[in-house]
Amino acid sequence: MRVATGLLLGYAADRLLGDPRHFHPVAGFGRIAMALEAHTHAPSRVRGVVHVGALVGGATAAGMLADHLAGRVGDPGMGRDVGRVAITAVATWAVLGGRSLEREALTIQRQLAAGDLDAARRQVRNLVGRDPSRLSADEVARATVESVAENGADALVAPLWWGAVAGVPGLVAYRAINTLDAMIGHRSPRYREFGWAAARLDDVANWIPARLTVLSTAAATGSVAGVRRVLMTVARDAPAHPSLNAGPVEAAFAAALGVSLGGSNSYAGVVEDRGRLGDGPAVTVDDLGSAVRLERRIGLIALGVIVAARRAAARRVVSRRRARRAR
């Protein structure tokens, strides 16, 4: 039960405190990745595989070591469980980003409501990779809502899922994968080949969490009609999106909010058409508060499902062990 308890405590810490303000381990990992890239980068998929393998493997090994050492702290039994609960909680807090995502979105909402479009354009750079320099106020709002949807899956549901599956090693391995995708997984001339492995590995790591996010979004509507609307919108609109994971998540979010997302975005001068997601009106600044509240509900629903599943799996393991001993 220690993993489930650690996930709950880590989630609570993220809600109360947000990201660690100093010596953030994810930022430290990013600096290590940049330093290694100076030696490994080349327009080669093989070099990219080596780069990603070294970094993700190193992060996973560090997580395994931390979990092992925590298990040796204290007396046998409950004392060692406390150590592992603590390290799981700390790791969960470090890799989750739900509260910080919310703060960014609400800051942009305040800036747009005050008519400070230039400030909102600068702020939204923290969330999206598209060029915001010519975005209107409503386009900044759309970019923010899409980021809340996608990053709600990447920075909240997916870490919880991998923490439930593999404990501390799963938490840190997933965050390493997702961070590398953000750093080198985009299709710029520099990373088209070198970043291929990071992008594909992130697709694999997020496949199940993205679908869990869709189901959590449907449940967050609170009605049978809402669930039906979300699932039908995802089935119809998600295939038009170039991302197999972001497409379903954003389509579900659009349906739950009753707005439309997607459209054309500019990334480093390259225009990408993401199709239209949802049937409602275009996003405005008034939708940002609703988006944040929806993201909170999705996080709580996903947390409940994941923790319950982890506890049920742990009970089955204990029951099997007792059955073997009784034979």
What pLDDT digit, counting tens, does each position of 292-316 carry?
999 999 999 999 999 999 999 888 8
Q: Round to whole Å and give the CA distance between 258 and 278.
A: 7
Per-residue pLDDT, averaged over 240-257, amounts to: 95
DSSP one-letter code for 272: E
Contact in structure between 124 and 144 (CB atoms under 8 Å): yes
Instruction: Please say if the pLDDT value at position 62 is more than 80.
Output: yes
SS3 state of residue 170:
helix
Please provide residue 166's backbone torsions phi and psi, each rounded to the nearest 5 degrees.
Answer: -135, 15
Per-residue pLDDT, averaged over 127-150, amounts to: 92
Q: Round to whole Å and give the CA distance between 186 and 40.
A: 17
Q: 269 or 320: whose pLDDT is higher?
A: 320
Contact in structure between 102 and 295 (CB atoms under 8 Å): yes
Q: Round to whole Å and give the CA distance between 54 and 314.
A: 31
Domain count, the chain: 1
The tokens describing 166, both together, are: 């593999």
Confidence band, pLDDT 50/70/90 cuts, at residue 74:
low
- The pLDDT value recorded for residue 162 is 98
- Mean pLDDT of the chain, nearest integer: 92
Rg over CA atoms, the chain: 20
Per-residue pLDDT, averaged over 171-184, amounts to: 97
End-to-end CA distance of the chain: 25
Scan for tokens 């046998």, then name that residue.
76
Scan for tokens 């923790």, then name that residue.
307
* CA nearest neighbour of 218 among 208, 205, 209, 228: 228
Instruction: Please say if the pLDDT value at position 22 is more than 60.
Output: yes
Per-residue pLDDT, averaged over 151-166, amounts to: 96
Scan for tokens 């940002």, then name that residue.
288
- The pLDDT value recorded for residue 321 is 74
Kindly report the number of other CB atoms within 10 A of residue 24's CB atom: 12
The tokens describing 45, both together, are: 């998929």
Dump pLDDT digits (tens) for 210-248. 999 999 999 999 999 999 999 999 999 999 998 999 999
Domain limits for position 223? 2-326
- The pLDDT value recorded for residue 134 is 87
Question: DSSP string spanning 50-91?
Answer: HHHHHHHHHHHHHHHHHHHHHHTSSSTTHHHHHHHHHHHHHH
Scan for tokens 């010596």, then name that residue.
23
Handedness of CA 114, 118, 119, 124 (dihedral sign): positive
Q: Which residues of 286-311 are buried (b: 16+ CB within 10 A; e: fewer)?
A: ebbeebbebbbbbbbbbbebbbeebe
Per-residue pLDDT, averaged over 38-51, amounts to: 97
SS3 state of residue 181:
helix
What count of residues does the chain have? 327
The tokens describing 103, both together, are: 């703060």
Q: Round to whole Å and give the CA distance between 10 and 307.
A: 12
